[in-house]
Amino acid sequence: MSDAPETLAALLRRYCDQHDEPCQVPRVRLSDAVQRGDDPLHILPYFATLGLPVRALNDLLRINDDETEEEVRSFRVAEGVAVTVASDGLWLLFEP
């Protein structure tokens, strides 16, 4: 069994087919978003309000450790880290 993460396309097929949602995924380089302090879905400012500053891709996965968090989920994919905002069904891919 491979330890390589699945591709974004595979994640979206699995997730979007299950939830019958259209999945359009904008992409942003993490370094650009960190430099600006924001991103198209305002994930970085949201994480900061939770005391989870983001400086590296793995920081985006820390949200999954919060059992009370219901709005945002992050997934390691081959292309980087995909983040979804549950209430809106929106996705964003942070690339290295």
Sheet with 80-85, strands from edge to edge, namely 27-29, 90-95, 80-85, 72-77
Q: What is the pLDDT of residues 67-81, one digit of tens each?
A: 999 999 999 999 999
21: helix, strand or coil: coil
pLDDT at 59: 98
Rounded Cα distance, 54 and 57, in Å: 8
Q: What is the pLDDT of residues 10-55, one digit of tens each?
A: 998 887 766 555 567 999 999 999 999 999 999 999 999 999 999 9
pLDDT at 3: 79
pLDDT at 30: 98
Q: Both ends of the chain: CA-CA distance in Å?
A: 25
Q: Between the CA of residue 51 and those of 15, 63, 68, 92, what are the distances in Å?
A: 28, 10, 14, 20
